[in-house]
Structure 1
Amino acid sequence: MNLAIFLNIRFYYDGERYTADERYFEFWTSFTEYFKKVILCVPVLTTRERKGAFKVDLKKKKVEICHLPYYETTIELDKNSFYIMPQVKKIVFNNISEWDIVRAVVPNILGISILNQARLYSKPCFAYIRGNYKKSLYEFTGFKKIAAYLIAQFLELRIKNIIKNIPTFVVGEELYNKFQKLNASVFKIVVSLISTNDIVKEITIPARLQKIRLLNIGRLSPEKGVSYLINGVYKTREKYGYDVTLTIVGSGMEESHLKEKIKKMGLNGCVKFLGYIPYNSEIINLYRNSDVFILPSLTEGVPKVILEALANGLPVIATSVGGIPEIIKDGENGILIPPADSEAIANAIHRLINNKNLIIDMIKKGLETIKEYTLEKQRERVIKILRSYYHFNN
């Protein structure tokens, strides 16, 4: 059987190899363990310029790329939908005879269109709802924000109509509660890139608890809440007198603003920006040379960085939004705090610094948690559900 997957990830082709902006596709290409072939239906830009941080392994031709029209952002896709949609429908029509089961990510107009076509041709299909589009509109203002909200509202109505009759996987309790009442076949899933072999075998405890190295990894945009984190670090140093340092890995629209904020607050010596770094040995070393991972997001699905932090033996401080409480249990394998609350960030850091045994317990429980969210376990869960729903063996 062949599995066709639509991903809302930008791919690049230089004539010899494919690369992508995100590693997220690797979870789905791992399904070659169960399918004869995995076909990734993705927007592809053919360019001689080397782009994309992650090389796409075609796994000895068991992975194929189905080229869709390229677009930079979802907003650009929505604006050019009258031009792009007919092309995609033609591509699906020409290829669907080779697809035995179809999966698409929503909310996305291409994902919705591909699922509709698959159902029209009586192909088994399933949906994956990755996030809450309405809650990710922080980067827009004025008319653009209104337009984006209306598009999100329209897409949500289309999603509700589609998922009534197909198995649907969602990220986190929030999305599960939202869509489960529409369809009994809604399942929670964590798209994990952590393999069993990636989990550390030994734990490391900071030698001096008063000198804590915080790590944050993510896009520098308003919904990631990094501004509140910087305020929290300032409060921790001023209120408690701790020698706390913060390393921020990522880039984005707020980068210059955040750097200026740090300068004004006199934090240049203790807050460091490293820019964007793809997941590699350098990132792993950053995890293993830090003491606490902290994620102050205002909205999230289930962030892969939390899984990476747990796998590398770090206690986690994170906001109780989206799918985060699915993974982090307050006081057990991490500390949950309300979003947009710098005081709560400072208090959480203080709580860890004053309790070495709590840090040890959180690290141990975090390592137990991540064993339930490995790529292998989550992939097996998807396959088991699809087999029970469509009664196929592969």
Structure 2
Amino acid sequence: MRLAVFVDQVFWRDGQDLSTDESYVLFLQSLAGEVNGMTLIGRLAPEPRRAPYPVDSDTFSLLPLPYYPDLHRLWRADPRIYGRVRREVRAQARNWDALLVSGPHPLGQMIARECIALGVPVVLVVRQNLVQQMAAHRGLKRWAALAAAALLEWDFRRLARGRTVLAVGTEMADAYRRDARQVTNHFACLVDKSRFEMFSKMATGGDPTRLICVSRLSPEKGHAHLLSALARLTARGVEYHLDIVGTGQQTEPILRAQAERLGLGSRVTFHGYVPYGPALFDLYRRAGALVLPSITEGFPQVINEALSLGLPVVATRVGGIPSFLSHEVTALLIPPRDIPALADAVQSIVTDEALRHRLSRNGRALMGDNTLEANRARVLEALHDEIRPRP
């Protein structure tokens, strides 16, 4: 099977080497032994650079999209971009047996329609609720972003009619089940069996008062709510320290100012970007729990890593999270934006040793049945089913 995959992420070239800073490519590379070749369709950065995740040139080729920094600036870009992409897709699509397209996304949806017109089977991937993601932002552009997101979502559901959809979590699975021929829950887990065994042997939880939050610094990730919740714990006399791992050029100064304003300066450490490897693992080992206060999500890879390590998790009931985790069994789940509930959950994790042990034990058991290999098999089954001739 020759597979094309539309991913809205940036790729960099450094000589002949290709790389990206989004770990999703590792899941795609796990399909290498099951396909005859894979074409990645993504943005090519204008400047050379070596990003953290190298792309195997023996397995992958890149159909480069013109570079745009983000979706908002794509709308303002030269409209001739669409014509150039359409011509490139038409030239290559006849060599593809299937297209996997993540969305909603305007370029991805255009590419999907070109492939459908050429008779190439298309499988859609819904990784999170785009409307909720746009709603997390503020400012004058918010309403325009919400309207555009709603239109894209409506059009993506039209594309789903009679096709297979891989949806992250029951919320999006239920939304697309009305139109799609088949909907399968999809968790692109990057923890394979060997890494799961490695994580399982690492000792964590040395300091139950130490919390870690690993995600990009962006409004929809809910860091501001977490800081407000921690201020409540300070008032209650609860001991804690928060390690924030991630970057966000616009959001980080706002969060730092909020931490100082709330008197949390000595209780919160901003680590910036920490590459996947020993430095990040060391922060995990020192932590007593992972906290993810997101307003909207797909399914964060960091949850898979935390569960494999036996690190208790506090997370919001958004995206695919409540489809995978059970409240008070494998995690503590709270409503998004609920600062009092977040404060109470964090306090329980910090102070209740029996709770931490139960979540740690059950989380590891859950991950043992949901490694990369298990999730890869679900994706391949969906692709083969879409390609298979209908009676």
TM-score by length of 1: 0.93
Alignment of 1:46-85 (within 5 A): 46-48=46-48, 50=49, 52-58=51-57, 61-80=58-77, 82-85=79-82
Deviations 1:52-71 (A, max 9, x none): 3322232xx12211222121
Rounded Cα–Cα distance in structure 2 between residues aligned with 1:236 and 1:140: 27
**Would the aligned equivalents of 1:220 and 1:255 in 2 still touch at CA under 8 Å?**
yes
Fraction of identical pairs, as percent: 29
Superposed displacement of residue 4, structure 1: 0.8
Asked if 2 retains the 8 angstrom alpha-carbon contact of 1:15 and 1:46, the reply is no
Deviations 1:101-155 (A, max 9, x none): 111111111111111111111112211111211111233421x222212221221
Q: Pick from 225, 228, 238 the counterpart of residue 242 of structure 1.
A: 238
- Tell me the distance in 2 between the aligned counterparts of 1:335 and 1:257: 27
What is the aligned partner in structure 2 of residue 25 from structure 1?
25
Q: Return the match for 1:280 from 277, 280, 286.
A: 277
The alpha-carbon deviation at position 365 of structure 1 amounts to 0.7
Report how many residues are paired.
385
Residue pair 1:284, 1:312 contacting (<8 A) in 2 also: no
> Quick check: 1:141 aligned with 2:139?
yes
Q: State which of 115, 123, 128 in structure 1 corresponds to 2:112.
A: 115
In 2, Cα distance between the equivalents of 1:352 and 1:149? Answer: 36
Once the 2 structures are TM-superposed, how far is the Cα of residue 45 of structure 1 from its aligned partner? Answer: 2.1
Which runs of 5 or more residues in structure 1 are unaligned? none
Q: Which amino acid aligns with 1:371?
A: G
Kindly indicate whether the alpha-carbon contact (under 8 Å) linking 1:172 and 1:322 is maintained by their aligned counterparts in 2. yes
CA spacing shift, 1:139–1:51, aligned 2, 3 Å:
farther
Q: Which moved more, 1:351-360 or 1:95-104?
A: 351-360
State the Cα distance separating 1:46 from its structure 2 match: 4.1
Task: Output one character per residue of 1:265-319: Cα deviation in whole Å (capped at 9) or x when no partner.
Answer: 2222111000122322211221122110000111111111111211222000011
Contact 1:205–1:360 (CA under 8 A) maintained in structure 2: no
Residue 194 of structure 1 deviates from its aligned partner by 1.2
Contact 1:12/1:19 (8 A) holds in 2:
yes
Q: Secondary structure at the match of 2:68?
A: coil
Q: 1:359 aligns with which of 337, 356, 359?
A: 356
1:310 and 2:307 correspond: yes
Cα separation, partners in 2 of 1:23 and 1:343, compared to 1, 3 Å: same
Deviation per residue, 1:343-392 (Å, 9 max, x gap): 21221122233432221111111011112322111010111232234338
Q: C-alpha distance in 1, partners of 2:261/2:86?
A: 53
**Native 8 Å contact 2:247 2:273 kept in 1:** yes
Question: 1:201 aligns to what?
Answer: 200
* Correspondence 1:343 to 2:345: no
Look up the equivalent residue of 1:229 and give its one-letter code: L
What is the alpha-carbon distance in structure 1 between the residues aligned to residue 137 and residue 51 of structure 2?
23
Moved more, 340-349 or 377-386: 340-349
Q: Say whether residues 1:270 and 2:260 are aligned partners.
A: no
Runs of 4+ in 1 over 6 A off after TM superposition: none
C-alpha separation between the residues in 2 aligned to 1:374 and 1:361? 21
Q: Deviations over 1:147-168 (max 9, x none)?
A: 2122212212221221102211
CA contact (8 A) 1:14 1:46 kept: no
1:118 & 1:244 partners in 2: Cα distance? 53
Residue 368 of structure 2 is aligned with which of 356, 366, 371?
371
> Take 2:332 and 2:78, find their aligned partners in 1: how far apart are those partners?
43
What are the residue-to-residue correspondences of 1:288-299 with 2, within 5 Å?
288-299=285-296
Q: Distance in 1 between matches of 2:336 and 2:168?
A: 19
Task: Choose between structure 1 and 2 for higher RCO, CA contacts under 8 A separated by at least 6 residues.
Answer: 2
Q: Residues 275 and 52 (structure 1 numbering): CA distance in 2 closer, same or farther, change over 3 Å?
A: same
Q: Distance in 1 between matches of 2:23 and 2:355?
A: 33
- SS state at 2:45 partner: strand
Match for 2:356: what amino acid?
Answer: I
Q: In the alignment, residue 54 of structure 1 is paired with which amino acid?
A: Y
